[in-house]
Structure 1
Amino acid sequence: MNEQWIPRSWLMLALGTSGQAASTTALYGLAYLIPAFRTELGLSLAGAGLLVSCPVIGILLGLIGWGVVADRYGERLALSAGLLIAAAATAAAAAVHGTWTLGALLVLAGAAGSSVNSASGRLVIGWFPPDRRGIAMGVRQASQPLGTAVAAAAFPPLAHHGGLAAAFGFCAALCGAAGAAIALCAVDPPRPRRAAGAPAGAAPYRGGYLWRLHGAAAVLCVPQFVVTGFALLFLTEVRGWSAATAGGVLAAANLAGAGVRLLAGWWSDSVASRIRPMRLLAAVTTADLVLLAAGAAWDSAAGTAALLLASGLTVSTNGLHNTAVAEYAGPHWAGRALGVHGMGQHLAVVLVPPLAGALVTGPGYPLLFALAAVFPALAAVLLPARDETADWPVPDGGRAAPRPPTVEV
């Protein structure tokens, strides 16, 4: 493989990963500010959960639009513009005091930051051949638990010492730095040449393959949001841990989750399949969440261990299903397909924080975790039977290594 493109491909991966990590901290890490929302803004648990959902609402509004921008005008423009707008929105959030205004700014930040969901995966897929895409997307998707780990470690002490303004200022700095780096250094991947005015190819939605991937990914996100959103509260309110200790342990658990994504990507490259590893990981996640529900009901240390394990398992498949979607959609449709893919996931979880908060206030954590176990089991059924892919151009004219033989697992 051409040695000249290897450093560029890994630079593009680093840029996409940093953008994803920054947006994750700002948009998905707000659950670690729930105690601050309740004390500083006087919100109920359900109200604080609704505020946590505001960026998710914004993401739903922006995903497909940013996918169109990425497909037509390139990943660099979509990523840098979205992150810089998100930085401005979170900087403004640091200066406001009203709950409604804060919620509106968080919706705007989510709409802008959703460019990362639609474009960064396309940037990575376009710079790597098939036999390396799993591990490359594993690295890119590892940025999500990395961003969550940053939020778990940074938000509680920032909110304690500087209030919500300090936490949102931190988010603005992360998004601004990542957006500027992408604007200066990112290079859009090569695309297949076609005649001027020629169509980009048929939309990849004529069969049911993408819809099954979208559905499976959507239901897999529900337990992820349950664990991410309520692990801190469970450890502090039920297990009696301090916020600093719980935040540190959860940060470590999320870093381990990043490692799980890397292993899942390597595994999928080794067996030349994204689907079979996803199905097995969904089954293991179901079993762990059942153990978590039982441990929460009987106040067992096994429940705490299962919670920490769930922090990694519930995010283990993200890189796999994003890779599968982009590979099947092809270079002319990947941005829009990833936008639809992300929209389905966020539609599935937009009400998870407030509804889960209401469940915790009522029946309690055992029922919440037991219900969460249903979703990965459903995902295992929804997944397609086999992998299907489209052709992507190899960067710089290089020749991709042959796919390893399919191995049944």
Structure 2
Amino acid sequence: MASADPLPSRSPVSAARADPYIWTVLAVAVATQTAGSVAAQGIYILVPFWREAFGVSLASASLAVTVMNGAQIVTMFALGRAIDRHGERTVVGLAMLGMALALAGAAAFAEGLPALLLCMAFLGGTYAAVQPGGTRAILRWFPPRHRGLATGFRQAAVPFGTMIAAGLLPFLAVHHGWHAAAWAGAGVSLLGAGLFWCFYREGGEVAAKADQPLSPRALVRVVGREPTFWPVLRLGIAMCAFQFTFTAHVIGFVAEGLGLGMVLAASLFAGAQLAGIPGRVLLPWASDRFLSGRRVQSFGVVSLLSAGAAVALAALPIGTPLPAIAAILVVLGFFGIGWFPLYLLQIAECAPKGSIAATVAFATTLCMVVMALGPLLFGLVVDHVGYSAAWAMLVLPVVAMSLPLLRSRPRIIA
């Protein structure tokens, strides 16, 4: 059942042109995404603590991450369709509550790895609603000239939430045990649910049930008619493999391949992640501000710049001055992490009116599959052939998928 709206006659996008409420929508979307990132990305950070607490191998403790991500892949499309049918306020609010319950259950009852994995599966299955729900909210409330900036701020909340988790959760786990860290994650998620329910409102469009979400087969057929959808999706898949493989392996490459050691390599990696936060805001803002109607081309250019920076990093010899390595990693972070809002917004704008969240969920599900496989394949190639072949495997698909986007025609979004 859709949530009630105090202004049932309002059309979100048209009202957004003069209504300051759009900035409340943005603040709520950013806060919700930040809370979700603290709770879900914090699972990566707690893996070493679970390894020690349960006396298991690192691989076994890492199953918490695998199970969480696997549950997202399984549930994301169904949750996207539910958001299109019932509205983002209801589904995302309940999903954030579900995340809080999953972490509270882990803190209260998980005395062994099997119980923990069950809680992590529930956490991932509910977290899957946050991305399509937040994207749908931005697309429905914001006019085209503001969508890039709004999406950029919301997506910057992902690394921002991860930074909060990295600073908060290990401190709590060291001084009070991992249960305290899990309770903290549950509290943050519950706060996110409360903020979303209290301050976000659906538009009259949802209350009127003007559109119904398409079936999976019909959705693929309809979005496939958009000339830019498949080229953008293919490049997005290549860039997801690029970003998350880079995240998983760059510390090892810089430490071993460039001879800097793990501590210094990790510090440089943190700087690259930090550079991705303004990248996620500034790149879509610049695209909308200076390249109106050319977001597809902007996505292609940003992807090529990411690939170029990776090639430059891979070509560095041992003994390269530290400032040069740091500069390349900052460029990689800015473009190689900042690209995502350009992609996400383009996918959403290709969606049928009644299936925005389902379209985002469909595209994100495919990306999550390569996010899981990319680091594994890169590691296998490094083990058997070396870093040069592995970097080539990562960069060449990005280049190949970027070039068609540069030749696409400008698109006007009404």
TM-based fold match above 0.5: yes
1:282 aligned residue: 303
TM-score w.r.t. length of structure 2? 0.80
Query: For 1:47-126, what aligned pairs fall within 5 Å after superposition?
Result: 47=60, 49-95=62-108, 96-126=110-140
2:194 aligned residue: 180
Give the CA deviation at 1:48: 5.1
Whole-angstrom CA distance in 2 between matches of 1:93 and 1:7: 40
Query: For 1:4-403, what aligned pairs fall within 5 Å after superposition?
Result: 6-41=19-54, 46-47=59-60, 49-95=62-108, 96-191=110-205, 203=219, 204-207=222-225, 209-230=228-249, 239-240=260-261, 242=263, 246=266, 253-270=272-289, 271-272=291-292, 273-295=294-316, 298=318, 300=320, 301=322, 302-353=324-375, 369=391, 371-381=393-403, 383=405, 385-386=408-409, 388=411
SS at match of 2:273: helix
Give the CA deviation at 1:360: 7.1
Cα RMSD after superposing both structures:
3.5
SS at match of 2:195: helix
SS at match of 1:329: coil
Q: Is the 8 A contact 2:84 2:213 kept in 1?
A: no
Q: Is the 8 A contact 1:31 1:229 kept in 2?
A: no
Identity %: 27
User: Which AA in structure 1 matches 2:223?
Assistant: Y
Q: Is the 8 A contact 1:70 1:335 kept in 2?
A: yes
Whole-angstrom CA distance in 1 between matches of 2:52 and 2:282: 40
CA deviation string 1:64-85 (max 9, x = no partner): 1111111111110111111110
Give the CA deviation at 1:94: 3.0
Taking a change above 3 Å as real, the CA distance of residues 197 and 225 of structure 1, as seen in their structure-2 partners, is closer
Whole-angstrom CA distance in 2 between matches of 1:94 and 1:236: 35
Q: Specify every segment of 5 or more residues in structure 2 that has no aligned partner in the other structure, as ranges.
A: 1-13
User: Which AA in structure 2 matches 1:385?
Assistant: S
Whole-angstrom CA distance in 1 between matches of 2:283 and 2:381: 32
Whole-angstrom CA distance in 2 between matches of 1:380 and 1:364: 25
- 272-281 or 212-221, larger mean C-alpha shift: 212-221
TM-score w.r.t. length of structure 1? 0.81
Whole-angstrom CA distance in 1 between matches of 2:54 and 2:332: 30
Give the CA deviation at 1:264: 1.0
Aligned residues: 388
Taking a change above 3 Å as real, the CA distance of residues 159 and 358 of structure 1, as seen in their structure-2 partners, is farther
Give the CA deviation at 1:254: 3.0
Q: Is the 8 A contact 1:54 1:106 kept in 2?
A: yes
Give the CA deviation at 1:314: 1.9
Taking a change above 3 Å as real, the CA distance of residues 214 and 25 of structure 1, as seen in their structure-2 partners, is farther
User: Which AA in structure 2 matches 1:102?
Assistant: L
- 15-24 or 203-212, larger mean C-alpha shift: 203-212
- 306-315 or 200-209, larger mean C-alpha shift: 200-209
